[in-house]
Each structure stands twice: as structure tokens, then as C-alpha cells.
Structure 1
């Protein structure tokens, strides 16, 4: 099993046929691919696996930037809500809250290549990217510098 997946492999992970994967990709529902080739989109396997897990859990994600609260969904622009930061923090339910100041620290760690960045989980960084909280350039920097170090080798071919 490789660490890169195309439409066929993404379908196997998600339990979907290729047409559904292609349709959801074109609608912008799936995580942003690492690259789009003429043969189709290519994702890191962990992106698709994390998408599946997050989708099954049904978690709502909010992003607080000063006094504004945004609702975040996969590959959609952040949508401003009518909630105040205090109201979100008092809510009960299945949700995640990210603060702008915390995200800025993550961005600085990645861009400045601080040693702590190597300990950030790929799943968390990918999730923030797919929600639109983390810019694509920062995500690419993280992938190029750190993620390949954490991907184990696979054994393929004849035994």
C-alpha cells in the first residue's frame, strides 16, 4: 500500500465507487489533492483516511479571529457566524475550536522551520488546510520539510 492514492484507491478507502470519488472531488468536498495530474487527483493516503474518520465523527469546526467566529467545512470558504467567542466556548456538543493566535504560532513554526514543527501531526495540519484555516503554501512547506520523514516504507512487488 503506497502513501499516495488516486481516485481508485480513495474509493477503496471510503467504500465508494470511482464515479462518486470524482464527483465529490469536482464539488470540492474531498480534501485538496497534493497535485492534479492528467490522470486525476493525487492525495496522500493519510488525507483520505483522516477525511473518512472526521466525516464519520460529524465534528463541527469553528475558527475564532478576534471577535469573529467562523464555521469551517472541508474545502469551503470559512463562513462567518453570528456567534460570539464566548457563546461558542459555552456551547455543548461535538465541535472543535481553533484560535487565530494559536494557528499563527503553527504557521510561524512551519515557515521559520523551527524544530518544534517536526512534532506537529500530519493529520492536524492536513485538517487545518482542508478547512481553509491554513494556507496551501504553508501546507506544502510542511509536507516538503516534515511529512515524508514520518511516512514508513512500504514493501511492494514480488516476494
Structure 2
């Protein structure tokens, strides 16, 4: 887990900066923020679903769809996302998708009262992030540099997807 965080830190900071530019207290900016996420999340969740562990986690695309509908916006077409289907890559995708829930909980506080918060409020159940971190560590345990490199590549590809969505 520490290896992933260290290897992807600059990409994570870039995505945080891109999405941090949205003033979530404005309905129009909040809608734009959700639309940007909607260009990335469904594609990432679809790829991640090939990993059996992902089936134990609730998806957020339905919440994102509902929040956009409440703001009179349709789901946009997702960006293309084909990082690879091997387990190492999929664990990297899962790391980014599930890690984004942590930031969502903080961002939800900036959303005005009366605005939908289903997507940002879809936080992990108690102990779930700890279980995800343990699963990531277990998956990488004893693996060679090629395997962990593909895990990092999957995470970096997912951060790049979100960065592209933020700029679209």
C-alpha cells in the first residue's frame, strides 16, 4: 500500500488539484464536478469488476447517476479506459477508485444543503478501507517487480483517466 501511495503521489496530487478547482458550493460547479467524475468512474468500475474482490464492494455509478439526474443532468459518455485486464493492473485500478471515496467524504461537506450527496457520501463501511488496504497488501505480497510495476501502472492509468475527465 505504501509502495502504491509513493509511486502514484504526483499523479494523485495532479488529480486533486484538477478537481479541487471546482467550487462545490456553487450548483453549476458541483454539476460540472459530477459530470467530470461521470466520464471516469463508470469506465473504471467496469474494468475493476473483473477482479473478484471488487464484487465485495458497492459500486458508486448508480449514486452518481442519481445525483446528476437530481441536478437535471444526464450521464455523459465515459472516456475510453483499457488499462489491461491482468490482476496486478486491476488491483491498481481498485486502489484509485476505492481511495477516492476517502476524499469524497471530505468534499461532501462543501456541497450546499439540499443538493444531492449520494455519490460523495458513498463512504466505506466501518473497517472496509482497512480491509481493502489489507487485500491490496496481500495481493502484492511476494510478487516480483514486474507484477508490482503493473499494479502501479494500473493505478497511474486510473489517475490519468480522472485527470483527462477533469480536463474534458
Q: Same fold (TM over 0.5)?
A: no
Q: TM-score, normalised by structure 1?
A: 0.32
The structure where strand makes up a greater share of residues is 1
Q: TM-score, normalised by structure 2?
A: 0.30
The structure where helix makes up a greater share of residues is 2
- The structure, 1 or 2, with the larger RCO (C-alpha pairs under 8 Å, 6+ apart) is 2
